[in-house]
């Protein structure tokens, strides 16, 4: 399956890769903080699961908008 060589240049031009990396780093940091803080304040593991399940809900629509914005 061949990928259009202009596809990655377009992603770079629109800064999609930088934004995706920033979201991934921010999500990792938030999850690490939650992993430390939540047990200390008495929240259960379900709260951490909630954060993990809802982490991708913000970046996916934003990245889709950036990619599809014409």
Kindly list the domain boundaries of the chain, sorted by start residue: 5-68
Average pLDDT of span 16-42: 87
51/2: higher pLDDT: 51
Q: Would you place residue 41 in the very low, low, confident or very high pLDDT band (cuts 50, 70, 90)?
A: very high
* Mean of per-residue pLDDT scores for the chain: 79
Q: Which long-range contacts (CB under 8 A, 24 or more apart) does 24-31 make?
A: 27/55, 27/56, 27/59, 30/55, 31/55
Q: Would you place residue 21 in the very low, low, confident or very high pLDDT band (cuts 50, 70, 90)?
A: confident
Given the structure tokens 């951490």, which residue do they identify?
Answer: 48
On whether the pTM is more than 0.85, the answer is no
| pLDDT number for residue 61 | 72
CA-CA distance, 60 to 67, in Å (whole number)? 11
| pLDDT number for residue 67 | 67
Give every CB contact of residue 47 below 8 A, 6+ residues apart in sequence: 34, 38
CA-CA distance, 17 to 24, in Å (whole number)? 11
């Amino acid at each position: 399956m061949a990928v259009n060589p202009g596809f990655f240049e377009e992603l770079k031009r629109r800064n999609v890769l930088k934004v995706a990396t920033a979201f991934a780093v921010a999500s990792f940091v938030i999850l690490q903080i939650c992993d430390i803080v939540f047990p200390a304040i008495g929240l259960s593991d379900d709260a951490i699961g909630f954060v993990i399940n809802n982490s991708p809900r913000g970046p996916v629509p934003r990245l889709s908008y950036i990619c599809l914005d014409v």
